[in-house]
Structure 1
């Protein structure tokens, strides 16, 4: 639902949104709660609809790979890192 809400906000002119790399974060009082927008997916969404975020998506996905290596027991969310970027043919390494 986070990306759907972000899309609605962008349609209304909002240009400041909150997101987190890999969807990490949350509230210790609500374990397993979801809701953080995955930054990689949000940046891709913005890029797709012509909004320049100033974020280098390829580098962002590379940083995510570092998180995966350094925090192997922490689940990361999102589609971009798993699917890869269109035109690259494979997920960013």
Structure 2
């Protein structure tokens, strides 16, 4: 890869070379997608539930996202959004 090539820039972003904020945003996006898929809900709705749960417990979003992605947090503890299909909601 050549310096400045799109492939290198993409790899740098994933590795957090643009700073810790890029890595944190990446983890939050991954957590949003995982929750949206799990609940069969819109990504924005999943993010709202993710953010509400974290705020109520004074958790940093990036730290909470990392726990979700790594499997260290049981996502059944987060209430599914009202827009999730009822058969897909955790009981």
- TM-score (norm: length of structure 2): 0.26
Question: Highest Rg: 1 or 2?
Answer: 2
* Structure (1/2) with the larger helix percentage: 2
- TM-score (norm: length of structure 1): 0.26
Higher relative contact order (CA 8 A, sep 6+): 2
